[in-house]
Structure 1
């Protein structure tokens, strides 16, 4: 499976973001990708702490998902991207998955809100129910996590205990920059890959506010490719045989005596 991670810094102008995304995806023409991953909040940035995300939120049949459907059909690829989903109250921080036919096949509403490092995401957004989400691209099972979820290994473990064990974990993110934050980012992504013997692919926002460094980690813990903090596209081929071999050599999932509940 060929994956493309699209790194960019979103704006609080949703129409401008759609234009940016369309232009970035146009550059993937001829790349023969199977899966395209955009960052958390690709539809609309978080903005300042007093910015009204409820007013910015869109329904799942709004212009953002319509753009993804159009681009997915054009690229003949599945697209995953982050948005703020409209509700009657506070919106959800939602990942949407649109397949190559332009169909919305699943959503994941961020479970762990970023009430940390002096910020309170829960004042602006509502947490999703504890319902881990997976989908398939061809024969590959993919699990979903969003940004701050990365700090909670039990979510990744719960995904691994589902009916279909993922070969890949996706982590769209807007990982806020700061002291030691890049070290946390790389370390946690690598840990989730090694302990679950999966590929981990993380599409992050870049720019001045966020850490950037979208990257792919293989099941052995090696970084396959990594961006810096500017706009970028990371392309990688994820071979399921690498996952199978790592689980044969390092059968830590099979050797567990404690399971998530």
Structure 2
């Protein structure tokens, strides 16, 4: 399975519409891949909080339309990264979309863990409540977004739901880049799954982005990693390696659930 991670640069001087058109063209250029992945909140920038309200769109808004068309034109499975969704009740969500090679939406995932503690995304957006997996012909994707990467229980839940490839769309800051690499490898090792973690390049909201999108195999080996600038990272994945790893080193079978602490 060929996967292409598009580490798009988010430039505040580029309009959302222009970047939407450019992102679509980058997706179409990956024709021949099986799976293409975009990063978190690439239309506006993950830290561009002041733009969230103005650039929010309905689920089936312009980003949905552009990405559905791009997936169909390229003939790929497309994880279209995330955008600022405005729900029918007015609540904003950090929402990821997945499209089939026919351009049909097969999943929408609202980010569960919102970053910012008592500011930014944490107070501006609603929290998702559902784990989301997507069955592809060769693997099952488990969806996560940026800050989710710090919460291993979410990934355990995705694996329990059948995930073999964990996709993390992110807008991760440069100052915590070492955590990005470490956590991506940890999630791969502990879940014996591929991790495809794609971030943005550039600077938005005055926050320099880490870039360094990364692909990790089920043994924790880094198969490929991008640099700091806009880049497309393309990797060939062996879908059978997850099954083989779990059979050769069946650690997941030794989990002990329901343990309690002494009073």
Q: TM-score, normalised to structure 1's length?
A: 0.91
Matched with 2:61 is 62
Q: Does 2:207 match 1:206? A: no
Matched with 2:153 is 154
Distance 1:216 1:139, change over 3 A: same
Q: Is the 8 A contact 2:194 2:216 kept in 1?
A: yes
Q: Is the 8 A contact 1:34 1:77 kept in 2?
A: yes
* Aligned pairs, number: 251
Matched with 2:7 is 7
Q: Is the 8 A contact 2:44 2:51 kept in 1?
A: no
Aligned equivalents of 1:106, 1:173: Cα separation in 2: 18
Unaligned runs of 5+ in 2: none
Matched with 1:27 is 29
> How does 1:67-82 map onto structure 2 within 5 Å?
67-80=66-79, 81-82=81-82
Aligned equivalents of 2:135, 2:158: Cα separation in 1: 13
By how many angstroms is 1:9 displaced?
2.1
Q: Is the 8 A contact 2:172 2:200 kept in 1?
A: yes
By how many angstroms is 1:258 displaced?
1.6
Q: Is the 8 A contact 1:143 1:166 kept in 2?
A: yes
Q: TM-score, normalised to structure 2's length?
A: 0.90
Task: Report the secondary structure of 2:21's partner residue.
Answer: helix
Matched with 1:167 is 164
State the Cα deviation string for residues 24-68 of structure 1 (Å, max 9, x = none): 224324xx111110000022224544x141221111211111111
By how many angstroms is 1:259 displaced?
6.5
Matched with 2:214 is 215
Aligned equivalents of 2:214, 2:46: Cα separation in 1: 22
Unaligned runs of 5+ in 1: none
Aligned equivalents of 2:245, 2:41: Cα separation in 1: 33
By how many angstroms is 1:10 displaced?
2.5
From 177, 181, 185, the counterpart of 1:182: 177
Distance 1:177 1:216, change over 3 A: same
> How does 1:17-166 map onto structure 2 within 5 Å?
17-29=19-31, 32-46=32-46, 48-49=48-49, 51-80=50-79, 81-87=81-87, 88-116=89-117, 120-129=120-129, 131-162=130-161, 165-166=162-163
Aligned equivalents of 1:203, 1:60: Cα separation in 2: 22
Moved over 3 A (4+): 46-49
Q: Is the 8 A contact 1:54 1:90 kept in 2?
A: no
